[in-house]
Amino acid sequence: MSKRYRLCLMGISLIILIVLGFFLTGSVNFIVNDFWFASGLLLLILLSLVDQPFFSKDSNIFVNAVTASLSLLLIPNHERTWLYWVFLIISSYLILSSYILMWLRKYELAFEHPVIQIATRINRELGKPETIFSSFFLWGVVQQYGTASVEFNSLLWFWIIFMVLNVPSVAKAIDGAFDSKASKEIQNAVGEIFGVQSKNTFLVKLSYDRTDSLKIFDFVEFYYSVDNKDHIGIILDVYLLNQEQWIKILTTTEIDRLFEKSISKYIPDKIYKIKNPPENDYLNRFIGLVYENSVIEKIRFSYNSKVEIHSGQLIELNINSHKVLYQIVQGITKNEQLTNKNESSFIIGEAIQLGEWNEEKGRFEQYGWVPSINTPIFIASPISAPTISDNEYIIGCIPNTNYPVIINTEYAVTHHTAVLGVTGSGKSVFARSLIDKIAVNDTKVIIVDLTGEYKSKISNLTSIISDEEAIKITKLIDTLAQENAKFSNQRDQKIIRQAEREIKLYFGNAIKVFLEGDSSKVVFELSDISNNSSNLEYTRWFFWVLFHIAKDKNNYGKRVCVVLEEAHTIIPEINSMGVSDNASKATVNSIAQIALQGRKYNIGFIVIAQRTANVSKTVLTQCNSVIVFQELDRTTSDFLSNYMGSSFVGILPTLKFRTAIAMGKAFRSTTPMIFEVPHIDE
Ligand SMILES: Nc1ncnc2c1ncn2[C@@H]1O[C@H](COP(=O)(O)OP(=O)(O)OP(=O)(O)O)[C@@H](O)[C@H]1O
Ligand SMILES: [Mg+2]
């Protein structure tokens, strides 16, 4: 029953009663003379509506009983019937018992001794104004007018109507109906704050009689009495706990700024629903809140969003007004025990710090601190495109963003780059597009492809060694092999020296023609891909000559990039070699020599492999930059854990087609990044 309703009912009841009394008695003398009026209705109305509208405490009952007794004393002696004495005894009992109870009561009623509980409950019923003064009123009316009179009937009807209007549910229904549109701005609160978690999240107990329905992500407003400010918040969670409904509300200055508050007058700490929030994109960007156990490199967050997210997603948050970006690497379901049987289940995400985006330099820079718990997290907002220099190129973007992953083609070559991934993950398509960007200006690309794939995909791709030369060189190599197979005292050193000189000459010329010529890429092939010794020797000699041209002739002023496609066929790991271990070792060594010293002589590798297990580690470990697509292989994961944290290694098996992780010196940003290679039509 609202205060407004009670005051109206009291005013109207008094006026009607006085008017009724005047008509029935012909004067207003009843106000001072008649017991029924003074002790009955007046006290009934005043006490039940003003003093004890909800329930009567021991002290109220004591006062009620004393008032009742005093008014009984006003009854003249000749009107004191047996009922009078009953009333007097009851009143006296109430005075005495409520006085004693006032002394005895110490705790909430439910925790008192059962006798005290029973006595108090009886007293409350007997001593409340509706009981005690209603009986006085009815008794007074009967006493004065008898039961067959008009006066009795009129006053009885008045009493009945008054009592009915005083019933709480009737009062509420009437109150609601009179709620005019104008008074709507004094909206009903939906609940009240009872807890605060790290200054921006509030726990609210919902009230049982709230009229507004609530659901997750609704906007609410309130006035918080601790900071003396109005706030707008969103509902992040709804719990049912110990038969009570709770909600968790997030407030931030950003939400506060979203729109004007709609309510002009709040009751402090009460929560009001915003019924028609203006259009805004907050919930399309909001992901969740920073969760416990976050560290500088990796945050954990509770996912609480309308937006779908997945691994690789870029998210941002504010730490001391620095916008720091993270990339999602993991999602974990979690169940939290609230109380005995209540649980709340949610998802915890993990994201690795990429850092602050330096717009000028177009790269991420590590930020050296953690966000505090409950910091809101958002989908990263778009950035303006960074400027890119001549030797740089965008190999892709972080998934669903326009944050570019920029590779420096010069570093990619001179510091060697490995492209790894399971079959069909997109390595070769990616490598070919990378080669296109690398093979410009003074950089020449030699593709070692034993599968013939590149020749079919790249138009006008010629072999560095013509077929005739290849045949001649193979013959020379065979001659050498025959000589070397003999005992050392039987070898013809002249033939050997002659053959070697010619091999060097053929390869040297071919390389010189290419380096000084117009075409920027060529392919180096073998007759077949088996590791037979003459092929191995052929390869070894080629790289030996290539290395010496780099060393002695400075590549004729060019930079050379050697692409090793299906690298395990060219530079196998020693323990996984097949046919001829010694020949293989020699080949691998001649290539490893370039890997180890190439940077000095402006020559480098792009190594493409499915798994690292069967590829020479001497070469692989020289690759400063790595681009890794989906990988399922354990050895590869172990190998890659030298390059990136376990969180990134952990998501390798789940990387989507055309999605890869890039890291190393060739990239502008220092941390690993998950990125998506754009669709490439070859
Ligand atoms: N960026 C891309 N855009 C469009 N299609 C692509 C892209 N990358 C790969 N593909 C498609 O996927 C197929 C396999 O890709 P690709 O040959 O690069 O795989 P791979 O990793 O080299 O596999 P393998 O190790 O078996 O050689 C390609 O033939 C092409 O159709
Ligand atoms: Mg391939």
CA-nearest residue, atom 9 of ligand 1: 426
Would you say residue 164 has pLDDT above 50?
yes
What are the DSSP calls for 281-313, one per residue?
-HHHHEEEEE-TT--SSEEEEEE--SS---TT-
For residue 184, the model assigns a pLDDT of 41
Distance 605 CA to ligand 2 centre (A): 16
For residue 530, the model assigns a pLDDT of 40
Distance 657 CA to ligand 1 centre (A): 9
> Burial level of 232, CB count in 10 A (0-12/13-18/19+)?
buried
* pLDDT, tens digit (0-9, with 9 covering 90-100), for 415-450: 999 999 999 999 999 999 999 999 988 899 999 998
Which atom in ligand 1 lies closest to the alpha carbon of residue 433?
A: 1
* pLDDT, tens digit (0-9, with 9 covering 90-100), for 220-229: 999 888 888 8
**Average of per-residue pLDDT across 326-348:** 83
Q: Which of 429, 608, 652 to mutate to test the pocket of ligand 1 (most atoms within 8 A of CB)?
A: 429
CA-nearest residue, atom 8 of ligand 1: 426
For residue 431, the model assigns a pLDDT of 95
Weakest mean pLDDT among 92-101, 467-476, 522-531: 522-531
* pLDDT, tens digit (0-9, with 9 covering 90-100), for 360-394: 888 899 999 999 998 999 999 999 888 888 889 99
Distance 424 CA to ligand 2 centre (A): 7
**Average of per-residue pLDDT across 279-300:** 92
C-alpha–C-alpha distance, residues 316 and 326, integer Å:
6
Which atom in ligand 1 lies closest to the alpha carbon of residue 610?
A: 25
**Average of per-residue pLDDT across 552-581:** 83
CA-nearest residue, atom 18 of ligand 1: 426
For residue 288, the model assigns a pLDDT of 92
Q: How confident is the model at residue 588 (pLDDT cuts 50, 70, 90)?
A: confident
Superfamily the domain 404-676 falls into: P-loop containing nucleotide triphosphate hydrolases (3.40.50.300)
Distance 422 CA to ligand 1 centre (A): 10
For residue 137, the model assigns a pLDDT of 84
CA-nearest residue, atom 25 of ligand 1: 423
Would you say residue 274 has pLDDT above 80?
yes
Nearest bound ligand to the CA of residue 423: 1
Weakest mean pLDDT among 546-560, 577-591, 614-628, 647-661: 577-591
What are the DSSP calls for 540-595, one per residue?
HHHHHHHHHHHHHHGGGG-EEEEEETTGGGTSB-GGG--S-HHHHHHHHHHHHHHH
Give the binding-site residues of ligand 1, using a 6 Å CB cut-off.
Answer: 421, 423-429, 610, 658, 677, 679-680
Q: How confident is the model at residue 180 (pLDDT cuts 50, 70, 90)?
A: very low
Pick the more confident residue, 199 or 292. 292
Would you say residue 110 has pLDDT above 90?
no
Which atom in ligand 1 lies closest to the alpha carbon of residue 678?
A: 1
Distance 576 CA to ligand 1 centre (A): 26
HSE (side-chain half, CA atoms, 13 Å) at 653: 9
Distance 607 CA to ligand 1 centre (A): 16
Distance 431 CA to ligand 2 centre (A): 9
With contact defined as beta carbons under 8 Å apart, do 524 and 447 qualify? yes
Distance 307 CA to ligand 1 centre (A): 31
Nearest bound ligand to the CA of residue 457: 1
Would you say residue 529 has pLDDT above 60?
no
For residue 531, the model assigns a pLDDT of 44
* pLDDT, tens digit (0-9, with 9 covering 90-100), for 449-464: 988 899 999 888 999 9
Q: Which of 394, 397, 405, 428 to mutate to test the pocket of ligand 1 (most atoms within 8 A of CB)?
A: 428
Domain ranges in the chain?
Answer: 3-177, 181-273, 282-387, 404-676
For residue 331, the model assigns a pLDDT of 92
Nearest bound ligand to the CA of residue 429: 1
CA distances to 217, 322, 327, 448, 557 from 318, rounded to whole Å, are 21, 5, 15, 48, 49
Would you say residue 177 has pLDDT above 80?
no
CA-nearest residue, atom 26 of ligand 1: 423
Distance 425 CA to ligand 1 centre (A): 6
Would you say residue 408 has pLDDT above 90?
yes
CA-nearest residue, atom 10 of ligand 1: 426
Q: How confident is the model at residue 263 (pLDDT cuts 50, 70, 90)?
A: low
Nearest bound ligand to the CA of residue 630: 1
**Average of per-residue pLDDT across 236-250:** 84
Over the chain, what is the mean pLDDT?
A: 86
Would you say residue 1 has pLDDT above 70?
no
Which atom in ligand 1 lies closest to the alpha carbon of residue 629?
A: 21
Distance 568 CA to ligand 2 centre (A): 12
Would you say residue 312 has pLDDT above 80?
yes
**Average of per-residue pLDDT across 513-523:** 93
* pLDDT, tens digit (0-9, with 9 covering 90-100), for 487-496: 888 888 888 9
Nearest bound ligand to the CA of residue 675: 1
Distance 429 CA to ligand 1 centre (A): 5
Share of the chain above pLDDT 90, in %: 38
Most confident of 3-7, 25-29, 598-602: 598-602
Helix, strand, or coil here: 200? coil
Q: How confident is the model at residue 340 (pLDDT cuts 50, 70, 90)?
A: low
Would you say residue 580 has pLDDT above 80?
no
Check whether domain 181-273 has CATH 2.40.10.230, yes or no:
yes
Q: How confident is the model at residue 577 (pLDDT cuts 50, 70, 90)?
A: low
CA distances to 36, 298, 532, 602 from 524, rounded to whole Å, are 119, 45, 17, 19
CA-nearest residue, atom 7 of ligand 1: 426
For residue 43, the model assigns a pLDDT of 76
